[in-house]
């Protein structure tokens, strides 16, 4: 789960990380009021920064981060951003609607760094990634100037922190500050079950202070049950509505960008089904594992989700009945079409527990379903139907 920048900064601040002072605003008046709260004057000396709060980076280049030199500019920036759609490199073409802006005190930037801490699956540990080329797209830095990135796959001891600080070009006095920052980040990361915390940029101000100017924070979904405070920060308006709906019914669903809707039981079989679809030259519209203890209601919701998805051109049902009974899947389909007609071809491969009952229910209802005996055939038929 992702949280907003302003929320991430509040979490980090509580753990001792220096962040700019800021005020959240949902309308232009509130943004103007934020200036007074943060202090500063219209003399031209003060800077405020208005930042669109969306679950995506790349805002700076897309006009979602406005550096303002007067309170009137702050009001105008907030007015322009709120209610607008921001299209950044990370949002996709559809963009993201801006519901909130964060107004911050402007800081004087001497240098910008990149710093992240993440669950490093390859090295099976928590790793730090640092770069003196901050504020930029880190993927580009990695591709063009890999020597400017250092990955540290070890415990952040004092010696390790020092190594990172020197790589960033910090001086002796700043090494101690940097070490404290890393300790705070590492503590936050573990206490909050993060899977990634990224500060891009982490800045050194002209006054010599290290401040997290931007913050991205991803929490491990599997730990949300014990992170009640973070769970409260969830912003459903930022998430795919299809995934939100699926989650309500306990379905493991992930939206993808292909056109074959998948309904499968078991994560492994769902993965294999997606692979098979790709092998037939088509693309899955989603990952869906209906799970073991699935009910007719949940199956019904799953079918509705697939049928109401405009991207879906064919549906592939691949059920290997064990604990899941094929008749439950068939009855779920019958329930779903009461409100969501089968507007696309449905290919069914039903085998295992209550296979005959399942097929009979569908056939007796007179549904135009294409039957397949095995996954290979099912994927071929579905790919063909969607083409
Ligand atoms: P992102 O583009 O979504 O990653 O948004 P960031 O929060 O990283 O902001 C993008 C850029 O805006 C930063 O790299 C800075 O160059 C600039 N910026 C953000 N806050 C300030 C500030 O307080 N003062 C100044 N001068 N620039 C800022
Ligand atoms: Mn950034």
Q: Which domains are assigned to the chain? A: 1-19+109-238 (3.30.470.20), 21-106 (3.30.1490.20), 240-386 (3.40.50.261)
Burial class (CB in 10 A: 0-12, 13-18, 19+), 203: buried
Please, what is the average pLDDT of the chain? Answer: 95
**Main-chain dihedrals φ then ψ at residue 143, nearest 5 degrees:** -75, -40
Size of the chain, expressed as the number of residues it contains: 387
| 255 Cβ inside 6 Å of ligand 1 | no
Catalytic sites, residue numbers: 114, 198
Handedness of CA 81, 83, 85, 89 (dihedral sign): positive
| Statement: residue 136 has pLDDT above 90 | no
**The two structure tokens encoding residue 64:** 């979602």
- Residue of the CA atom closest to atom 2 of ligand 1: 60
User: What share of the chain in percent tops pLDDT 70?
Assistant: 100
Task: Please give the pLDDT value at position 293.
Answer: 81
**Residues in a beta bridge with 115:** 130, 199
What is the Cα–Cα distance from 90 to 55, expressed in whole angstroms? Answer: 9
Q: How far is the CA of 105 from the centre of ligand 1 (A)?
A: 12
Q: Helices 172-191 and 5-14, interaxial angle, to 10°?
A: 110
89 in Cβ contact with 74 (< 8 Å): no
Q: Any idea what DSSP says for residue 287?
A: E
pLDDT in tens, 326-358: 999 999 999 999 999 999 999 999 999 999 999
| Statement: residue 262 has pLDDT above 90 | yes
Give the closest ligand to the alpha carbon of residue 50: 1
Atom of ligand 1 nearest to the CA of 5: 7
Give the closest ligand to the alpha carbon of residue 61: 1
| Statement: residue 244 has pLDDT above 90 | no
Mean pLDDT (whole number) for 151-180: 97
- Residue of the CA atom closest to atom 9 of ligand 1: 60
| 63 Cβ inside 6 Å of ligand 1 | no
| Statement: residue 243 has pLDDT above 90 | no
| 46 Cβ inside 6 Å of ligand 1 | no
| 201 Cβ inside 6 Å of ligand 1 | yes
Mutate-to-test residue for ligand 1 from 23, 49, 77, highest number of ligand atoms within 8 A of CB: 49
**Main-chain dihedrals φ then ψ at residue 213, nearest 5 degrees:** -80, -30
Atom of ligand 1 nearest to the CA of 88: 3
**CA atoms in the 13 A half-sphere facing the CB of 264:** 28
| 96 Cβ inside 6 Å of ligand 1 | no
């Amino acid at each position: 789960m992702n949280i907003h920048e302003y929320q991430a900064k509040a979490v980090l601040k509580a753990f001792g990380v220096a962040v700019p002072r800021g005020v959240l605003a949902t309308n232009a008046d509130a943004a103007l009021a934020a200036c007074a709260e943060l202090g500063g004057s219209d003399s031209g000396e003060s800077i405020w920064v208005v930042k669109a709060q969306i679950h995506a980076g790349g805002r700076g280049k897309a006009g979602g981060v406005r550096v303002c030199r007067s309170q009137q500019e702050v009001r105008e920036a907030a007015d322009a951003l709120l209610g607008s759609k921001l299209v950044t490199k990370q949002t996709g073409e559809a963009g993201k609607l801006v519901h909130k802006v964060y107004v911050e005190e402007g800081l004087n930037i001497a240098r910008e760094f990149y710093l992240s801490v993440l669950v490093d699956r390859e090295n099976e540990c928590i790793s730090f990634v640092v770069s003196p080329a901050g504020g930029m797209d880190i993927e580009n830095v990695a591709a063009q100037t890999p020597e400017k990135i250092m990955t540290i796959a070890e415990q952040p001891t004092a010696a390790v922190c020092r190594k990172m600080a020197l790589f960033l070009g910090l001086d002796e006095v700043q090494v101690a500050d940097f070490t404290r920052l890393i300790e705070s980040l590492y503590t936050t990361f573990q206490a909050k079950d993060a899977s990634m915390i990224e500060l891009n940029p982490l800045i050194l101000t002209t006054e010599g202070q290290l401040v997290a100017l931007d913050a991205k924070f991803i929490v491990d979904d599997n730990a949300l049950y014990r992170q009640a405070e973070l769970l409260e920060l969830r912003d459903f308006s930022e998430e795919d509505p299809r995934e939100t709906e699926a989650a309500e019914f306990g379905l493991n669903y992930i939206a993808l960008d292909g056109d074959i809707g998948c309904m499968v039981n078991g994560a492994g079989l769902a993965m294999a089904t997606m692979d098979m679809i790709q092998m037939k030259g088509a693309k899955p519209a989603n990952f869906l594992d209906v799970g073991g203890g699935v009910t007719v209601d949940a199956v019904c919701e799953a079918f509705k989700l697939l049928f109401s998805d405009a991207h879906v051109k064919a549906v592939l049902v691949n059920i290997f009945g064990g604990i899941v009974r094929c008749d439950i899947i068939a009855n779920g389909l019958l329930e779903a079409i009461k409100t969501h007609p089968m507007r696309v071809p449905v290919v069914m491969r039903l085998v295992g527990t209550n296979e005959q009952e399942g097929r009979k229910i569908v056939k007796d209802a007179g549904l135009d379903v294409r039957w397949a005996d095995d996954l290979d055939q099912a994927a071929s038929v579905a790919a063909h139907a969607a083409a």
